[in-house]
Structure 1
Amino acid sequence: MHSVNRLAEFLARLQLALAALAVLAILLTVSVDVLLRASVNAPIGATIEIVSFYYMIPLVFFPIMTLELKGGHIDTDLFYRLFPRRMKQLSIVVSVLLTALIYLVLAYFTFKQAVVSTDNGEVSMGISHLPIWPVRWVLPFVFATSAVAAFLLCVKRFQDRDRDV
């Protein structure tokens, strides 16, 4: 189980690094576009499409696995505080397993969409016909790895007997 956790942490760090690279790419692309537009009146074609499809999707979705592994999503404990210890443990397990199930459903449907998009050779309909089908594969990957992260978080919380639940 330790090697699975290490692999998941590595994947989460890799996804976070890719999200950081997306931020850098947005910064550079938009800056160069503005510079070229202002200096020689020759902006980069399809800047909006490149940023929207190739940079924003990884930027928004890649950090999800890290949040899941760290338990960083928003929790509400309106009734949780009133539960006895066993009920608290059960509610944690049920909520994390439901989270994993939702991620798997999202992974399934986005995988189907990615296959269709790849088969059709989907392109953007902007200034240029930029192929966008490769980016469609980000979502099924992110949702599948986040489902694994949610499951690992469930196992970790369930095994952690010392934690005050």
Structure 2
Amino acid sequence: MTALGQGLDRATYGLSWLGSLCVILMMLHITAEVTLRYLFGITLPGTLVFVGNYYMIVVVFVPLALLELRGRHIAVDVVARGFPPGLQRVLAALARLMTVFVMGLLTVAAWQQAVGKMRVGATIEQGTASILIWPGHFILVAGCGLMTLVAACRLAEIVSGRDLGLPAEEPA
């Protein structure tokens, strides 16, 4: 495995573990909120803010790179399977090029928004608490950026015909 492939593999799996941890933390946080509210009449300030601005962003956007790494995004290739191998390779390269382009644009837009939110110190008021939300925007940048890098590496593998060290895609 090359250094590039190994680095992307480690980063992808590391962020995916973070996503798994956030699912557990979200479950515990919400369970604690509901239990405390119904048994003792106590509410945990910021539960909705943390769920919507931290946990859910990690859970949704961080695994995108893992799906790309494993080749598990939704694909409809019923017709393409019947094409000659050369044409299949061209279509796969075009699809990856579009993925890199779209995810690259999304990464840049997310970066610009995250920096803007950081500059103004974006917060959400919930009850008497003021909760910072701008750090959550950088999680979106990390997830989209890593997917862009994985897709670009897969595109480079298709175009060059060389193995760049990413794990083999899993069969559907």
TM-score, normalising length: structure 2: 0.87
**Distance in 1 between residues matched to 2:63 and 2:125, nearest whole Å:** 28
Corresponding residue of 2:2: 2
* Equivalent position amino acid for 1:143 in 2: C
> Higher relative contact order by CA 8 Å / sep ≥ 6: 1 or 2?
2
Matched positions, count: 161
Corresponding residue of 2:140: 139
CA RMSD of aligned residues (A): 1.8
Identity %: 24
Corresponding residue of 1:113: 113
Q: Which structure: greater strand fraction?
A: 2
Gaps of at least 5 residues in structure 2 are 164-172
**Distance in 1 between residues matched to 2:138 and 2:2, nearest whole Å:** 28
Corresponding residue of 1:62: 62
The runs of at least 4 consecutive aligned structure 1 residues that moved more than 6 Å come to none
**Deviation per residue, 1:85-137 (Å, 9 max, x gap):** 21111111111111011111001111000111000111124333211001011
**Distance in 1 between residues matched to 2:2 and 2:74, nearest whole Å:** 26
Q: Report whether the alignment pairs 1:95 with 2:95.
A: yes
Q: Report whether the alignment pairs 1:86 with 2:83.
A: no
**Distance in 1 between residues matched to 2:86 and 2:125, nearest whole Å:** 54
Cα offset, 1:34, TM superposition:
1.7
Gaps of at least 5 residues in structure 1 are none
**Distance in 2 between residues matched to 1:100 and 1:7, nearest whole Å:** 18
The answer to which of 54-63 and 77-86 deviates more is: 77-86
Corresponding residue of 1:41: 41
The answer to which of 120-129 and 86-95 deviates more is: 120-129
Corresponding residue of 2:167: none
Cα offset, 1:25, TM superposition:
0.7
TM-score, normalising length: structure 1: 0.90
The answer to which of 70-79 and 123-132 deviates more is: 123-132
SS at match of 1:124: strand
8 Å CA contact retained: 1:69, 1:152: no
SS at match of 2:7: helix
**Distance in 2 between residues matched to 1:131 and 1:35, nearest whole Å:** 25
Corresponding residue of 2:124: 124
